[in-house]
Amino acid sequence: MDLIKKIFDAGVVGAGGAGFPTHIKLNCSVEYLIANGAECEPLLETDKYLMRCESKKIIKAMEEVAKKIQAKKLIIGLKKKYKEEIKALSKTIEELNSEVELFLLDNFYPAGDEHILVYEITKKSIPAGGIPLDVGVVVSNVGTLVNIFDAINEKPVVDKYVTVIGEIRNPCILKVPIGISIEKCIEAAGGSLINDYAVILGGPMMGKVIYKKQIKKEFITKTIGSLILLPKNHYIIGRKELSIKHIVSRAKTACIQCSMCTDMCPRNLIGHKIRPHRIMRSIGIAKGDEKIFMEALICCECGVCELYACPMGLSPRSMNGYIKNELRNKGIKYQKEQEKTIAKEIREYRKIPVDRLISRLGLTKYKGNKVIGPFEVKAHRVCISLSQSIGRPANPVVSIGDIVSRGQLIGEVKMGELGANVHSSIDGKVCEISDYVVIRSENDEVIS
């Protein structure tokens, strides 16, 4: 069976957070195949675990993908501080006599942003509004490559490795069935150390905040790779929960036009014409500059501007996100720049050290936590979203009352559509179908 068809059948999507359907991404020919092992966000451990313990899957998957997309250069980008991961990958490359190379990155944020990673490795700037394909590159997260290897062996995506850290009794990596509740993940990691907490789904810079009362109704998807438990009154939680009315009011009254948000913007530094300080300035006047607002469409929402750069504690990232959504709702898209994008010479001196970022975020307390595992968690109930990727949701192909087995297709899209197939992650009975498929079984345990 064709590789693309196997990937499509298995429901593989970008595991790093964006969730782009992999069967669509790999329908191309390029010069470079880059595996992203930079673990972009601070404190996370999942990708490092995969590089240490699943290196053969990663490298074999890269070789198969490279054949399909005709890539001549196969490179894994990871940080030079990842000593054990480098050792494991190097050993596997030698054992397999593979052409895969390692590219070692400095420990800065956001090294794992694919535009930044591509520039670091190839010295080519992807045009604003563009994708790696525009410069002859495909980027795939190491977790995605593990799933591709499994897809080659006709195993669908039914599990997810999740880092659980912060105010948790046993900071660890869990291997959980997709659709398990956040509550069950927290219980499997020993429970929270504090009573009143919030949870960040994803990394501290770009993740989504939910509160304790929501953990029973939020579920692991193919793109959630970490859970960070923090006190409800933590600085990051407060910043992420500001209303747009509050953000606009602050921008109008407190922005000092220092341009630090623009000066430190990683996308601006690789040559993109995005100037957050000018967007904030336009918000502060009666009639904003609509041409400037268009620049919000190329913001990657990495959070550098609001969680690191701004001396006034303002929220350019959140402002950009709001404007971006408003423009998209009107059908307005950014026109990809045709002229060559050139990075700024000052860029090398404006990379943000991750250790300093962790300190600024108030997360130093958790930096030294030893993360154990992985522990495999079994669930008796899963709530599996039919929309786990960019694009259209899958159509359910099961009915209430059906008995399903682990790995069975429960939601499908057509080949070539922007979307991804969805499979049952446990053996059980379908008891509800809406935007989710709810399945129940009898198992509920943690296996070390």
CATH number reported for the structural domain that contains residue 52 in this entry: 3.40.50.11540
The residue behind tokens 């190379």 is: 101
Q: Facing residues of 160 across strands?
A: 176
Q: Is the pLDDT of residue 91 over 90?
A: yes
- Picking from 103, 123, 152, the residue at the C-terminal end of a domain is 152
Q: Is the pLDDT of residue 71 over 80?
A: yes
255 with 379, same domain: the answer is no
Q: What is the number of domains present in the chain?
A: 3
229 with 376, same domain: the answer is yes
Q: Is the pLDDT of residue 395 over 60?
A: yes
Question: CB–CB of 39/141 below 8 Å?
Answer: no
Residue closest to 14 by CA, chosen among 130, 132, 166, 172: 132
Residue closest to 68 by CA, chosen among 9, 6, 26, 22: 26
62 with 147, same domain: the answer is yes
Q: What is the mean pLDDT of residues 270-293?
A: 84
Q: What is the pLDDT of residues 379-392, one digit of tens each?
A: 999 999 999 999 99
Evaluated on CA atoms 394, 415, 58, 16, the torsion sign reads: negative
Q: What is the pLDDT of residues 180-223, one digit of tens each?
A: 999 999 999 999 999 999 999 999 999 999 999 999 999 999 99
Least confident of 71-85, 305-319, 324-338: 324-338
pTM of the model: 0.95
146 with 165, same domain: the answer is no
Identity of the amino acid at 99: E
CATH number reported for the structural domain that contains residue 378 in this entry: 3.10.20.600
Give the Cα separation of 230 and 430 in Å (integer).
34
Cβ contacts of 16 within 8 Å, gap of 6 or more: 36, 40, 112, 141, 143, 144, 223, 225
290 pLDDT band, cuts 50/70/90, is confident
Q: Is the pLDDT of residue 175 over 70?
A: yes
In the chain, pLDDT over 90 holds for what percent of residues? Answer: 88
Give kind and range of the element (H or E) at residue 430.
strand 428-433
50 with 136, same domain: the answer is yes
* Average per-residue pLDDT for the chain: 95
| E-only strand ranges, 303-360 | 352-353
Give the Cα separation of 112 and 407 in Å (integer).
31
Parallel, antiparallel, or unpaired: how do β-strands 395-396 and 172-177 relate? unpaired
The tokens for 215 are 């953990």
- Picking from 152, 171, 193, the residue at the C-terminal end of a domain is 152
Q: Cis peptide before 374, with omega less than 30 degrees from 0?
A: yes
Give the Cα separation of 422 and 389 in Å (integer).
10
Q: Which domain holds residue 164?
A: 159-234+369-447
Question: CB–CB of 47/142 below 8 Å?
Answer: yes
Q: What is the mean pLDDT of residues 320-329?
A: 92
Q: Is the pLDDT of residue 174 over 70?
A: yes
Q: How far is CA 336 from the centre of its chain?
A: 23
Residue closest to 408 by CA, chosen among 153, 157, 179: 157
Question: CB–CB of 111/71 below 8 Å?
Answer: no
374 pLDDT band, cuts 50/70/90, is very high
192 with 214, same domain: the answer is yes
In the chain, pLDDT over 70 holds for what percent of residues? Answer: 97
56 pLDDT band, cuts 50/70/90, is very high
Q: What size, in residues, is the chain?
A: 448
222 with 283, same domain: the answer is no
396 pLDDT band, cuts 50/70/90, is very high
147 with 10, same domain: the answer is yes
Residue closest to 311 by CA, chosen among 277, 344, 270: 277
187 with 247, same domain: the answer is no
425 with 378, same domain: the answer is yes
Dihedral of the alpha carbons of 225, 155, 112, 356, in degrees to the nearest 10: 30
Residue closest to 180 by CA, chosen among 399, 440, 447: 440
Q: What is the pLDDT of residue 448?
A: 42
Q: What is the pLDDT of residue 286?
A: 54
Q: What is the mean pLDDT of residues 41-61?
A: 97
Q: What is the pLDDT of residue 289?
A: 66
Q: Is the pLDDT of residue 423 over 90?
A: yes
Least confident of 14-28, 175-189, 276-290: 276-290
- Picking from 360, 387, 402, the residue at the C-terminal end of a domain is 360
43 with 147, same domain: the answer is yes
Q: What is the pLDDT of residue 387?
A: 97
Q: What is the pLDDT of residue 415?
A: 92
145 with 182, same domain: the answer is no
Question: CB–CB of 386/422 below 8 Å?
Answer: yes
